[in-house]
Amino acid sequence: MNIVEIENVQVVFGEKTAVSAASFSVAAGETFSLIGESGCGKSTLLRVLAGLQREWQGRVTLFGEPVKPAVRFQGALRRNVQMVFQDPYASLHPNHTIYRTLAEPLKIHGETQIDARVKTALQEVGLSADAAARYPHQLSGGQRQRVAIARALSLRPKILLLDEPTSALDMSVQAEILNLLNRLKQEHQMTYLLVSHDADVIAHMSDRAAFMAGGVIQRFFDREALERGEHRMSSSPSPLPSP
């Protein structure tokens, strides 16, 4: 079953076309990645799927249901699609404790046993319970990204959108976060859509990947192609059909 289906999606900002006729699908349980240089359109596609970029053309289906442009995500769709952003400090409210950051989504969706759920969420990402009383500026970059991941996973979404989740972190911390994401994916049987310009991250995380340039998906790679390093390229390859 495909969790995501995108067909001929186009996103235009004024006179600039950010995404041009992009098409791909993401199967349940896989990690599908978009790789390309900054400005190629991959993060824009992620924002379309998160419901943050509402002006687009084409066809988008999530969990078998069509998504319409200009419509805010509601109910189960809002719960089942969560996103982790590139900069963990910018994505966390500086004046909210970590407890409030993790508790608010649970309260909004009518969850109970909030204290226990917050404690469990912190434990799952390798943070101690006393981190709940701290503020974002009192945590390291890696700890803040762990909180961002905990917040995204607290509602048990079906798909997690990851926008360069380690690029703002020190090299020593990047592997820890990637391994954490892989472990949580297996534990919760989730689907990931990952955006990155880092070929090593793509190779480590992905079942399949697509290379983007100039708002266009140029080529798809299966797991065998990724293991051979075919995605490590300096120029756009010739277009190939999706596997």
The ranges assigned to domains in the chain are 2-227
Q: Read off the pLDDT band of 113 (50, 70, 90).
A: very high
For residue 234, what pLDDT is reported? 38
Q: What is the pLDDT of residue 238?
A: 41
Residue 118 half-sphere exposure, CB side, CA atoms within 13 Å? 20
Q: Give the tens place of pLDDT for each residue, 44-103.
A: 999 999 999 999 999 999 999 999 999 989 888 989 999 999 887 888 999 999 999 999
Give pLDDT, residue 90: 82
Q: Which of 13, 82, 22, 16 is nearest to 53 (CA)?
A: 13
Confidence at residue 233, expressed as pLDDT on a 0 to 100 scale: 65
Output the average pLDDT for the chain.
91
pLDDT at residue 239 tops 70: no
Q: Grade residue 236 by pLDDT with cuts at 50, 70 and 90.
A: very low
Q: For 149-158, how does the pLDDT look when each residue is reduced to its tens digit (9 = 90+)?
A: 999 998 899 9
Q: Output the pLDDT for position 87.
A: 86
Confidence (pLDDT) at 168: 80
What are 187-235's pLDDT values in tens digits? 999 999 999 988 999 999 999 999 998 899 999 999 999 999 999 863 4
- Output the pLDDT for position 17: 94
Domain 2-227 coded CATH 3.40.50.2300: no
Using a cut of 0.75, tell me whether the model's pTM lies above it.
yes
